[in-house]
Amino acid sequence: MKAIQVGLLGIGTVGSGVYNVLKRNQAEITRRAGRAIEISMVADLDTARAQAVAGSTAKVVKDAREIIANPDIDIVVELIGGYGIARQLVMEAIAAGKHVVTANKALLAVHGTEIFAAAHAKGVMVAFEAAVAGGIPIIKALREGLTANSIEWIAGIINGTTNFILSEMRDKGLDFGVVLKEAQRLGYAETDPTFDIEGVDAAHKATIMSAIAFGVPVQFNKAYVEGITKLEAQDIEYAEQLGYRIKLLGITRRRPQGIELRVHPTLVPAKRLIANVEGAMNAVVVQGDAVGTTLYYGKGAGSEPTASAVIADLVDVTRLHTVDAAHRVPHLAFQPDQMSDQPILPMEEVLTSYYLRLRVADQAGVLAKVASLLANAGISIDAMLQRAASDVGGAGSTHTDLILLTHEVREGAMNAVIAQMQALPTVLAPITRIRKEELA
């Protein structure tokens, strides 16, 4: 059978990986797909670089629209990234009847509804395994492997850059800036690294997983997003003393009133497997009502790990492109006319537990006052740590740190108590609050 024809838009790190892996494993991939997969065109502004990767096997062009206009191309692989030109090209490729494979999490998290609707109307596939957690087949797992389950929650380390930064800061005592530069050098970080460190990249991925898990539209604008830039080394240390690690987690959870969708630094019990995921590795925990807890671990970025996911999509599309569109796996796992309108809950309605650090005057009654404010709000204390004043402020210090772990409470109620605590004259600095998840 004639090889399926693929056009690559963009041939940077991931594109080169796709090339290399397809070439290296061509025979096995063909045996699995049922026919050969051939990259016959590549578009990149840097044609010299593209030519160097593609050699003589593909036609290299500067203008991506040449690929979209070519009737021989069956699948367009979008590896440009971002919401700008990539969105236009994906929409044009769909309109031209091409199947699309993309690694573009930002695009799908923000414009997924429009893209999937256009693809559905045109009867083409948009495959995006590489958009979430790189080489880990988490989209496949959520969309197909766990399809029997009512998914209860998902929690993931889905940004390698921030996990690398947190690991290095904790293990080597290195500064945030130094580690970020290293992450950029290693190619983990986004072009704009604020997307990594401010939690935006993780929120893109959490948004996509949430939509697939619960059958709701992608709604990145409703996600709560908090990164790691305000984390302080002393909180990483205090958390350790209490038996926890701090990870940037993407969390989505089904509640009776709606769906939680949030990214923030999170204390996780040190004994959980996910707490021990180090460096740039990714891991996703999925809780399903039938299967219980499942854990997916692997490389979330990098040339060949991401290429592994892109090629898995190419194989899927190759196998399915002659199948009646109604028999394909729906883009978001649920049939398009069966999507739910369950709301994404505002952060005030989220239920979670907390780590609080209060810099307080070292005086009698301070702890009692803080505890009574929590008790009055019905918030139960789970654990507590108080340092000797001299350990915190040196000999003769008149202040100390009070660290409290609470049980689960509505975020709105916690906000109100934090405001009350902050108003106490014996609370000497802004209170640090980090959310905590037991993931039991």
> From the annotation, which residues make up the binding site for L-homoserine?
190
Residue numbers in the known binding site for NADPH are 105
Choose the binding region for ligand HSE from 137-145, 155-163, 381-389, 412-420 (rule: CB under 6 A).
Answer: 155-163
What does the per-residue mask of binding to ligand HSE show for 38-67, with x meaning CB under 6 A? Answer: ------------------------------
Q: Is residue 235 a contact residue for ligand HSE (CB under 6 A)?
A: no
Q: Is residue 160 a contact residue for ligand HSE (CB under 6 A)?
A: yes
Report how far residue 432's alpha carbon sits from residue 397's, in angstroms, rounded to the nearest whole number: 20
Q: Is residue 188 a contact residue for ligand HSE (CB under 6 A)?
A: yes
Handedness of CA 322, 16, 161, 168 (dihedral sign): positive
Report how far residue 40's alpha carbon sits from residue 411's, in angstroms, rounded to the nearest whole number: 53
* C-alpha count within 13 angstroms, C-beta hemisphere, residue 185: 7
Residue numbers in the known binding site are 9-16, 105, 190
Q: Is residue 7 a contact residue for ligand HSE (CB under 6 A)?
A: no
* 191 close to 14: Cβ distance less than 8 angstroms: no
Report how far residue 141's alpha carbon sits from residue 333's, in angstroms, rounded to the nearest whole number: 11
Q: Is residue 301 a contact residue for ligand HSE (CB under 6 A)?
A: yes
Among 74, 129, 190, 362, binds ligand HSE (CB under 6 A): 190
In the sheet that holds 126-127, the strands lie side by side as 59-61, 37-43, 4-9, 75-78, 99-102, 126-127
Q: Is residue 161 a contact residue for ligand HSE (CB under 6 A)?
A: yes
Q: Is residue 167 a contact residue for ligand HSE (CB under 6 A)?
A: no
Choose the binding region for ligand HSE from 119-127, 185-193, 374-382, 412-420 (rule: CB under 6 A).
Answer: 185-193
Among 112, 134, 215, 265, binds ligand HSE (CB under 6 A): 134
Reduced to 3 states, what is the DSSP secondary structure of residue 75? Answer: strand
Q: Is residue 304 a contact residue for ligand HSE (CB under 6 A)?
A: no
| Beta carbon of residue 302, minimum distance to ligand HSE (angstroms, whole number) | 8
Choose the binding region for ligand HSE from 12-20, 182-190, 315-323, 390-398 (rule: CB under 6 A).
Answer: 182-190
Report how far residue 220's alpha carbon sits from residue 71's, in angstroms, rounded to the nearest whole number: 34
Q: Is residue 300 a contact residue for ligand HSE (CB under 6 A)?
A: yes
| Backbone angle region of 384, left / alpha / beta, with phi > 0 → left and psi within -120 to 50 → alpha | beta
Among 14, 33, 136, 189, binds ligand HSE (CB under 6 A): 189
Question: Angle between the 105-122 and 85-95 helix axes, to the nearest 10 degrees?
Answer: 20
Q: Is residue 135 a contact residue for ligand HSE (CB under 6 A)?
A: no
Q: How big is the site for ligand HSE, counted in residues (CB under 6 A)? A: 11
Q: Which residues are catalytic?
A: 205
Q: Is residue 201 a contact residue for ligand HSE (CB under 6 A)?
A: yes
Handedness of CA 206, 211, 217, 222 (dihedral sign): negative
Report how far residue 99's alpha carbon sits from residue 328's, in angstroms, rounded to the nearest whole number: 13
Single-letter amino acid code for the residue at 201: D
Report how far residue 50's alpha carbon sits from residue 390's, in angstroms, rounded to the nearest whole number: 61
Query: Going by DSSP bridges, is the β-strand pair 258-269/244-255 parallel, antiparallel, or unpaired?
Result: antiparallel
Q: Which lies closer to ligand HSE via its Cβ, residue 4 or residue 209? A: 209
Report how far residue 329's alpha carbon sits from residue 320's, in angstroms, rounded to the nearest whole number: 10
Give the distance from CA 175 to its chain's centroid: 24
Reduced to 3 states, what is the DSSP secondary structure of residue 351? Answer: strand
Q: Is residue 196 a contact residue for ligand HSE (CB under 6 A)?
A: yes
Q: Is residue 137 a contact residue for ligand HSE (CB under 6 A)?
A: no
Q: Is residue 157 a contact residue for ligand HSE (CB under 6 A)?
A: no
Q: Is residue 250 a contact residue for ligand HSE (CB under 6 A)?
A: no
Q: Is residue 159 a contact residue for ligand HSE (CB under 6 A)?
A: yes
| Beta carbon of residue 113, minimum distance to ligand HSE (angstroms, whole number) | 21
Choose the binding region for ligand HSE from 64-72, 189-197, 222-230, 267-275 (rule: CB under 6 A).
Answer: 189-197
Report how far residue 405's alpha carbon sits from residue 397's, in angstroms, rounded to the nearest whole number: 24
Choose the binding region for ligand HSE from 77-85, 144-152, 188-196, 263-271 (rule: CB under 6 A).
Answer: 188-196
Report how far residue 262's alpha carbon sits from residue 49's, in angstroms, rounded to the nearest whole number: 39
Binding site for ligand HSE (CB under 6 A): 134, 159-161, 188-190, 196, 201, 300-301
